[in-house]
Structure 1
């Protein structure tokens, strides 16, 4: 082990009280830094955008704990560890090599650009319905925009996409996902949420086999049953991946963009005047406020010499610090921490990179491109109902967003 591994690791705050401030501390330790994750797991945190890009496409880096993480293989990661669900699932997110190619090829065939584009009228209709409900709020009465809008829209869209029609089931799925992404929760809550999420989706698979519909769940089940490229476990875990990632990222993107615009009225004015586009708002938010700040975990398949005397040893865990990479001053200059929609280059890794680049990225961008302008058009005098410093953040070192978004609406 090289001398860098002997340095006392930086202990990551599982509550995520200041997840991007912490990203700055980690970045200051160097392109890679030894960190301790919740549950006492040691990892290399990669915050340098250039290095992270290279590692994300390096075949010597795996996401399969069953093959390449000795701590997992040897049973050192207990079921009550906050990181257990991240390693235990078997889906496209955690697959490596031929297994990943097989899973991604199948899912990409169902999750097509045409299917996503066809969702536009439905996304617009859901957006309009939610805004109509908000117009019933008495003027100048504070309302939680996350609860009523930024959370509701992505959940409704992803559940409709996968044919999850029952409202109670949607709500329970959302609660399970919230717990799993909240690494500050008690171990018992994490275990229960993981088990319940899988149970709900197993029941969904049973239902869709009996009564298939025009939805992605039915498409994946049909592919699995016709050609058996998916095991039953992979099928359920793939549904879990899309249901969770399919709404959490967009919820945070919407909330982060709204707060950024309300706290930068001059830049909101540029958007309204047409000097910059809503795409500029979305990409700058993804860069400056990555919806997923840190993504567990990857593993070195073999020793990887990354220079400056640092070697990632085979089997060591790697944490992708997307939030830190988006604010890398080597890429974005000394003002990288500043949200600026006029910034010309907005390179980021908010949706990953390489073979694991998020298939749902076009859907998240489409939802944001519809929901943000519609909100500010309907409520042009929208204001925060709390000081920015008083806004409650999600209790997570993974997910970067707001727990609540109190605003005052004036139609």
Structure 2
């Protein structure tokens, strides 16, 4: 793999549905050369087994000090994806630093702690279903946007309550996180302005919790930072809060949206759940595999030349994790990998990652999505898409994988 060859795939910052592209690239090998926006050479790992190996490889790091191009002038200062490399938090830390940061937040996301949130998630879900019903009733054609009225506010409310974020900040936080993290076709100036505002807003939230600590994760992080235990720097505190906020709602928003789309376009699968032949957990797991919420996620960097599935990825290459590609890899899931089948028993998917950086919030995302889907279809058994799935506008991103809006009819 060279600096980049003529046949390297040039990534479209506007993204779109990833599955046809994934299939084409995967047919040529488990690892592909890419040109990242801004003309920066990189790679994406697309095969299931190759990605599993890469994500837990001892010679692959998350810290951007292992990305020489970021520091030697070859990558311009205004590079739009710098925000991923420069972020500070457990998702860009390695080894002891990573373990220290992860242990501070990990206690909030154990299976036991997450299960304690179930009554609150159920309560929020019931209220939002009322809101969705009201939005559809108020619409002249009986159509409501399920993303805006249900799939977004549920995980956003849960993660903001966990972090101790006051209600008035939530709409702005979603807008900023979407600009910074999800939309990869925004201009560098827009991204940097949003980063500055997001960091400032996180600082405001942290200051409020420092002045009036509560029973929330931000207060706990501040206590750990200011106490005699493990210390978080201000940048680590803000970075960790930002990670929790963005990962805590954008991904679950997409997971719920994609599951609803899958069930509406595969009514036979919905019938299996109705008949007790499959569970809502099966729906969640198959959606994670078949149409995961994150497509190509940045970045990891080999600390030496690393061979993955017979392809050498040179030291310092920025590498994307191709989660949606791995999810439909026939070598892992059989010849029916392109099909949506909730009775599938092919082992756990990689949509929450693998290895030391496995998503700490996975139990919460699974809980939220399972409750959301069960209550949604119990309340509105005839819910269906108001627009054919193929005509829904896709997120303008190669990182996030979902649609921008999800218009539905409830009956």
Contact 2:50 2:309 in 1 (8 A): no
Equivalent residue number for residue 202 of structure 2:
201
* Alignment partner of 1:21 is 2:23: no
Equivalent residue number for residue 173 of structure 1:
173
Equivalent residue number for residue 375 of structure 1:
376
Contact 1:173 1:197 in 2 (8 A): yes
Q: Which is further off, 38-47 or 113-122?
A: 113-122
Equivalent residue number for residue 395 of structure 2:
394
**TM-score, normalised by the number of residues in structure 2:** 0.95
Deviation digits for residues 210-267 of structure 1 (CA, Å, limit 9, x no counterpart): 1000000101111111135211100100000000000011000000000000001111
Separation of aligned partners in 2, 1:344 and 1:187: 43
Contact 1:287 1:346 in 2 (8 A): no
Separation of aligned partners in 1, 2:155 and 2:20: 27
Shift of 1:4: 9.4
Equivalent residue number for residue 73 of structure 1:
71
Unmatched 5+ stretches in structure 1: none
Equivalent residue number for residue 112 of structure 2:
114
Unmatched 5+ stretches in structure 2: none
Shift of 1:97: 1.8
Structure 1 segments (4+ residues) deviating >6 Å: none
Equivalent residue number for residue 83 of structure 1:
81
Equivalent residue number for residue 362 of structure 1:
363
Contact 1:35 1:45 in 2 (8 A): yes
Deviation digits for residues 30-74 of structure 1 (CA, Å, limit 9, x no counterpart): 111101111212112111111111111111000110x20001122
Contact 2:19 2:324 in 1 (8 A): yes
Equivalent residue number for residue 246 of structure 1:
248
Shift of 1:394: 0.6
Q: Relative to 1, partners in 2 of residues 1:353 and 1:307: Cα closer, same or farther, differing over 3 Å?
A: closer
Separation of aligned partners in 2, 1:252 and 1:4: 34
1:294-313 to 2 correspondence within 5 Å? 294-306=296-308, 308=310, 310-313=311-314
Other structure's SS at 2:97 match? helix
Shift of 1:112: 3.5
Separation of aligned partners in 2, 1:390 and 1:203: 40
Shift of 1:110: 4.1
Separation of aligned partners in 1, 2:308 and 2:408: 46
Shift of 1:124: 0.5
Separation of aligned partners in 2, 1:112 and 1:75: 42
Separation of aligned partners in 1, 2:190 and 2:2: 38
Separation of aligned partners in 2, 1:73 and 1:4: 17
Number of residues paired by the alignment?
406
**TM-score, normalised by the number of residues in structure 1:** 0.95
Equivalent residue number for residue 51 of structure 1:
50
Other structure's SS at 2:301 match? strand
Equivalent residue number for residue 331 of structure 1:
332
Q: Relative to 1, partners in 2 of residues 1:132 and 1:347: Cα closer, same or farther, differing over 3 Å?
A: same
Other structure's SS at 1:45 match? strand
Separation of aligned partners in 2, 1:111 and 1:362: 7
Separation of aligned partners in 2, 1:51 and 1:307: 6
Deviation digits for residues 65-111 of structure 1 (CA, Å, limit 9, x no counterpart): 0x200011224433432211101111000111221122112221344
Equivalent residue number for residue 343 of structure 2:
342
Equivalent residue number for residue 257 of structure 2:
255
Other structure's SS at 2:92 match? coil
Contact 1:63 1:297 in 2 (8 A): yes
Separation of aligned partners in 2, 1:296 and 1:337: 24
* Alignment partner of 1:99 is 2:100: no
Equivalent residue number for residue 267 of structure 2:
265
Contact 1:27 1:48 in 2 (8 A): yes
Q: Relative to 1, partners in 2 of residues 1:27 and 1:3: Cα closer, same or farther, differing over 3 Å?
A: same
Shift of 1:24: 1.6
Other structure's SS at 1:135 match? helix
Q: Which is further off, 193-202 or 36-45?
A: 36-45
Equivalent residue number for residue 33 of structure 2:
34
Q: Relative to 1, partners in 2 of residues 1:133 and 1:166: Cα closer, same or farther, differing over 3 Å?
A: closer
Alignment RMSD (CA, Å): 1.6
Separation of aligned partners in 1, 2:349 and 2:314: 27
Q: Relative to 1, partners in 2 of residues 1:255 and 1:53: Cα closer, same or farther, differing over 3 Å?
A: same
Shift of 1:285: 0.1
Separation of aligned partners in 2, 1:385 and 1:156: 26
Other structure's SS at 2:345 match? coil
Contact 1:306 1:312 in 2 (8 A): yes
